[in-house]
Amino acid sequence: YLALNVGDAATHVAAHAKRYLHAWGFTGIQSVLLEAEACDLILDSRARLDFGAGKRAIFLAALTIAVMEHAVGNGYPHLGFVVIDSPLKSYADPKSKEQRDVEVSTVTDRFYAWLAKWKGPGQLIILENQEIKSDSSKLLEPLEFVGDGDGDGRQGFYPGMQIDVTDA
């Protein structure tokens, strides 16, 4: 068994994550700790995994960005970017039975407003299906993929391949 000695890193990463969560509307969260062995957050004495799917996703996004900010900001090894897939989708799911302490629109609007002001260190790539307010959209200039690919827009990140049926 190897005990991890993360020193002040856990405190700094947790402070970053708490700052993000407050900016995103979760101002009721009083304490955020990083549990080194699990490398996961504890929020107000509850493990991140004890929350519903929507909060778990948002809290994981905060942790992921906080680790990057701490590592890149201190010159520690890190790729310098993170890709986060659908941090808001589960929280916004109308079928979810999860207790929402913060309105979905508040979290979505505040998340994108925060993202529009992000100045690093590092680069954030967010893949999401939630609508963005026009003022945040103007600042972010997001790449949007809509439609079914039949003239209505792009289906995804990779352009579709044209298949010549005469060669088949």
22 within 8 A of 10, measured Cβ to Cβ? no
Q: What would the mean pLDDT of 126-141 be, rounded to a whole number?
A: 80
In the predicted structure, residue 129 carries a pLDDT above the cut 80 = no
Q: Which of 63-67, 88-92, 157-161 has the highest mean pLDDT?
A: 63-67
Give CA–CA dist 90/104, Å, rounded. 10
In the predicted structure, residue 1 carries a pLDDT above the cut 50 = no
- Beta strand 40-43 pairing with 46-47: antiparallel
Q: For residue range 77-86, list pLDDT tens digits in order.
A: 999 999 999 9
| Preceding omega of 121 cis (within 30 degrees of 0) | yes
HSE, side-chain direction, 13 A CA sphere, residue 116: 17
Name the pTM for this structure.
Answer: 0.82
Q: What would the mean pLDDT of 45-49 be, rounded to a whole number?
A: 93
